[in-house]
Structures are given as C-alpha cells and as structure tokens.
Amino acid sequence: MKSITYGEVDFKNMVELIKNYVSERPEKEYKISIGTDSQNFDLTKVVIVVAVHRVGNGGIFFYDTKRVSKITNIRQKIFYETNISINIATKFVELFEDKYFKYDISIHVDAGDNGPSSKVIAEITSWINSCGFNCKTKPYSYAASSIANRYSK
C-alpha cells in the first residue's frame, strides 16, 4: 500500500498506522471506506483504496495499484472490483478484532443509478450487505469514484 503521508507500507503496517491515527483521538467517530476502481489501457489498471475519515476532522488514505488482463465487460469489471474491496475489508476486520474505537466500514462501489453500471447495483449491494458491510454507490462512493479513480488514470 502507498500513502501520501506515510510512503510505501505493507498491509499490517497500514493497519498499525491506522490504529496509531485513531489512538490520537479515540473519542472521535471514524468511517473506514474501502473502494476499488479500474481503467483500461493495454491491461486493466486496478486501484484499491482504504480511507479513514475522522468525522469532523479530515482523514488519511492508503492505496495500492495492480495490473491485470484487460477486463472489457462492465459487469465483470464491477464484480472484480467489488470482490477485491470485500476481501480487503474482511482482512481489515480480522486485524481490528480488538475494536477499541467506534468505527464503521463501508465498501464504496464505482457504480451509480445512471449509465451501464446501474444494472448491477442491486446485486452488488446485496452481496456487500450479506458480507456484513455497508455499501455506498455514486455519488457517495468517494473512495472508489474519487480517490481510486484519480490514481487509476
């Protein structure tokens, strides 16, 4: 994972940095957003984002980039992105078992009610909810549609 604040870190170090960030102000509420977006080039460039919002006081984020064989089918692409986000969120929850602060985890999906992605929203939302996470779609899915989108270009 990479961070504009902390540089390059592995997943466990990212979790420790987030715990340290939270321990600075444990009385605050935190929203953890995990989102993925991708862009097609000769391959598909996929960007995964973990954003931590300290409600009322900004936040930090981490991202990772990978390249996979080109995915041209929009449905397949959204399901692929969502699967990555769910896997990261599940791994994150396992490392945060000691829940010593109030937080909420949402999966952000780069899909909205307008356009070709609208056809999969109900299915994606049900899948994410059945995994125990909240689902945010456009225009509320900033981790995917803003941060990940920016780094996927």
Tell me: the pLDDT tens digits for 39-53?
A: 999 999 999 999 999
Residue 62, pLDDT score: 99
Q: How confident is the model at residue 95 (pLDDT cuts 50, 70, 90)?
A: confident
All structural domains of the chain with their residue ranges: 2-152
Mean pLDDT calculated for residue range 146-150: 96
Residues linked to residue 38 through DSSP beta bridges, in sequence order: 46
Mean pLDDT calculated for residue range 112-138: 95
- Is the pLDDT reported for residue 98 higher than 80? no
Q: Which tokens go with 69? A: 């064989």
144: Cβ contacts below 8 Å, ≥ 6 apart: 35, 36, 37, 49, 81, 85, 108, 109, 110
Q: Identify the architecture of domain 2-152 in CATH.
A: 2-Layer Sandwich (3.30)
